[in-house]
Homo-oligomer: A and B are copies of this chain.
Amino acid sequence: MTSLPSIRALTFDVFGTVVDWRGSIIAEGTALDLDLDWAAFADGWRAGYQPAMARVRSGELGWTRIDDLHRLILDSLLPEFGLTNLGEAELDHLNRVWHRLRPWPDAVEGLTLLKQDFVISTLSNGNLSLLTNMAKNGALPWDCILSAELAHHYKPDPEAYLTACHLLDLAPEQVLMVAAHEGDLRAAAAVGMRTAYVHRPTEYGPQHPKPWPKETFEWMATDFVDLAEKLNKNTGRNRDN
């Protein structure tokens, strides 16, 4: 560990790591005057996410933003959930619920702490405009917004991580990937990035608590405030630029 360079920037997975996508969709949906199982709807929408990105990865679809993938999945869910009578403006607004996802309770405080010592950035499959709007809606204090969109490669493709490091003008060893998902961290580690796992046990709902992973990553944190404390203890304050 002592031979590793100082960490200069933290890049964050967003859906599930920074924001509670499931709880946010359920809350916004429940506020509408529609008789719907919003938990099942949120789960169905999210279940379409990996297969939709796989269509881009395979080349079946050219580069397609998450906003547009979300809309493809949404359209496919409408009959099952009895939403076929929604108009275009309503559908577009519903699709953009992903721009309005709410941060986990510790996220803004933790990011504000981490921002004192590091460059903090998104590194999400969400498109840049989605992430920018989400930050504005949720007061997320990013230093910059990085996205798989800038690489035209979705995570976990290595290009998504390497493009982010290149734009930050840092070696992968100087960048810490923060995520609640092991596959994301494994892919970041494979290109030489550092890794921090943050546990979000209720990402898939209180009925389906997620266990801690069997794998150990360089940092293991219960939330972003805990991560800030652990990094501060291990690295000291290192902002010098």
Contact = CB atoms under 8 A, between A and B. Distances in A.
Copies of this chain in the oligomer: 2
Contacts of A76: none
Contacts of A150: 150
Interface size of A as a range: 20 to 34
B241 A169 contact: no
A96 B47 CA distance: 46
A128 B167 CA distance: 6
Interface string A11-51: 00000000000000000000000000000000000000000
A239 B131 CA distance: 16
A106 interface: no
Interface of A is mostly: helix
B149 A143 contact: no
A135 interface: yes
A119 B143 contact: no
Contacts of A169: 65, 67, 127-129
Contact of A132 (B99, B129, B137, B168): B168
A133 interface: yes
Interface of A: 65, 67, 96, 99, 119, 121, 127-129, 131-133, 135-137, 142-145, 149-150, 167-170, 239, 241
